[in-house]
Amino acid sequence: MTRVRRSVLFMPGDSLKKITKAATQLAVDCVVMDLEDGVALDRKEEARQTVLEAGKTLDFGSREKWIRINPTSTSWWQDDLAETIEARPNAYVIPKVESAQDLQQICDWLTQAEKERGWEPSSIELVGIIETAKGVLCLPQIVAATDRLSAMMFGSEDLAGDMGAIRTPEGWEVFYARSAVVTAAAAYRIDAIDTIFADFNDPEGLQKEATVARQMGYSGKIAIHPRQVPILNDAFSPTEAEIEHATKLIAAHDANQAAGTGAFAYEGKMVDMPMIRSAQKILAQAQATGQRNQDSSSE
């Protein structure tokens, strides 16, 4: 099943107001309650309690409930898990992942927790953030680390800091990593979620960056402000023109197959299986976003 993860909104875990707004009012696909860098050092404990309370009591509707913990290199991650597990998140988001072991130790902890509670094994998913040079180098091991991994996220700001790179609007300084993350995710058929766009008063800039991310294969992008959410939902949904084109292409393909033809010409261009597979993907996305009915793919 194609999942819709276009807008992934972060908010500080100690802000019940922002969590409530995201979980109950905003049209976000994923709500990420943060315990890491969005929370002041002296508010970590308070944030855990707020996240627990919000996670247990609010109705998130169809939105995914995610919690970002602190990295496994800190002394906080186990308490982050222990004190929020009863919120029963759909996934934990793990920052600064640098090795398969980073994820495996969290898996071990979750396996035990699920067992103790009689919850379905491996029902809690993981999302790993690649945002250090070492994380980029170790991507092949990291994506293969566990079946719990359901998405990879790219973090450009921490990465630039780690590399001593200077951020530019074009982003060429982090392009290798941005491309590596989406490629690794594709290899394991999991989602890739693109980095933040910090200027929440620049809708055109965000739209442009999101369009490139979608062209690269990203399924969505991090949002840090409600204003960014509709822009991302739109940028990562197939356009009407794409859906119509895909529908026609598949009909033409079906007719050619029935006539015993593989590759064929359509509107002056050669069409064969790779284009048909992308067309099928567009239709699956259109169904997942509700832009088309479940049974309209054979129109």
The residue (of 208 and 225) whose beta carbon lies closer to ligand COA is 225
Q: Which does 158 bind (CB under 5 to 8 A by kind): Mg ion, ligand COA, none?
A: Mg ion
Of 76-95, binders to ligand COA (CB under 6 A) are none
Side-chain-side CA neighbours of residue 268 (13 Å): 0
Measured distance CA(61)–CA(124) in Å, rounded: 17
In Å, what is the CA distance from 261 to each residue of 156, 179, 247? Answer: 46, 35, 18
Side-chain-side CA neighbours of residue 138 (13 Å): 19
- Check if the beta carbon of residue 19 is closer than 8 Å to that of residue 28: no
Q: At closest approach, how far in Å is the CB of 222 from ligand COA?
A: 6
Of 103-162, binders to Mg ion (CB under 5 A) are 131, 155, 158
Q: Which does 11 bind (CB under 5 to 8 A by kind): ligand COA, Mg ion, none?
A: ligand COA
Q: Which does 10 bind (CB under 5 to 8 A by kind): ligand COA, Mg ion, none?
A: ligand COA
- Check if the beta carbon of residue 110 is closer than 8 Å to that of residue 82: no
Measured distance CA(190)–CA(276) in Å, rounded: 21
Of 45-64, binders to ligand COA (CB under 6 A) are none
- What lies within 8 Å, CB to CB, of 159 at 6+ separation is 130, 131, 132, 133, 135, 136, 165, 174, 177
Q: At closest approach, how far in Å is the CB of 43 from ligand COA?
A: 13
Asked if residue 22 binds ligand COA (CB under 6 A), the reply is yes
Number of amino acids touching ligand COA (CB under 6 A) = 15
* Structure token digits, residue 106: 């969290």
Asked if residue 37 binds ligand COA (CB under 6 A), the reply is yes
Asked if residue 226 binds ligand COA (CB under 6 A), the reply is yes
Catalytic residue list contains 272: yes
Of 173-212, binders to ligand COA (CB under 6 A) are 196
Local structure of residue 119 (DSSP, 8 states): P
Side-chain-side CA neighbours of residue 224 (13 Å): 14
Residues lying near Mg ion in the complex (CB under 5 A) are found at: 131, 155, 158
Show which residues are catalytic.
Answer: 272
Residues lying near ligand COA in the complex (CB under 6 A) are found at: 9-12, 17-18, 21-22, 34, 37-38, 196, 224-226
